[in-house]
């Protein structure tokens, strides 16, 4: 049963991070506007999009799950910092939630 839960969480994270990463890679104007408001460049938008997609795909394989989790964790810490620095209040809870899901997924899959 633990294995099933681990894979459900893994697939959920892969889908969520790919859904977050692809619009950034496509140059979505809303994401571009947000990154500019936060003080980041368009290149940072593309870098985050690439890392979100790569990290998500890396979660799927046992040999690369730790690398994928590390990449995504760094992005979530950065996102949390960005929301705090921009004084966006409860928006910091979203990256915190994803960070806890990443940790739980790795823990369940490594057992």
- For residues 44 and 24, is the Cβ–Cβ distance under 8 A? no
How many Å from the N-terminal Cα to the C-terminal Cα in the chain?
12
pLDDT along the chain (111 residues), means of 10: 94 98 94 96 96 98 97 98 96 97 96 83
pLDDT of residue 111: 83
**Which letter does DSSP use for residue 61 in this model?**
S
pLDDT of residue 43: 95
Please state, as a whole number, how many other Cβ atoms lie within 10 Å of the Cβ of residue 83. 19
pLDDT of residue 39: 97
Region of 41 (left: φ > 0; alpha: ψ -120 to 50; beta: rest) is beta
| Residue given tokens 């959920």 in the structure block | 12
pLDDT of residue 76: 98
- For residues 35 and 42, is the Cβ–Cβ distance under 8 A? yes
pLDDT of residue 2: 85
- Cβ-Cβ contacts under 8 Å for 52 (sequence gap 6 or more): 17, 18, 20, 21, 24, 72, 75
**Which letter does DSSP use for residue 70 in this model?**
H
* Report field, pTM of the whole predicted structure over 0.75: yes
């Amino acid at each position: 049963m633990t294995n099933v839960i681990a894979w459900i969480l893994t697939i959920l994270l892969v889908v969520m991070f790919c859904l977050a990463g692809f619009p950034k890679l496509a140059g979505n104007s809303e994401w571009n506007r947000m990154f500019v408001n936060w003080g980041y460049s368009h290149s940072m938008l593309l870098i985050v999009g690439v890392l979100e997609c790569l990290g998500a795909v890396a979660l799927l394989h046992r040999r690369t799950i730790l690398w994928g989790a590390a990449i995504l964790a760094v992005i979530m810490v950065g996102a949390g910092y960005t929301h705090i620095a921009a004084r966006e209040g409860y928006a910091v809870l979203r990256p915190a939630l994803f960070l806890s899901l990443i940790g739980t997924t790795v823990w369940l899959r490594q057992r």
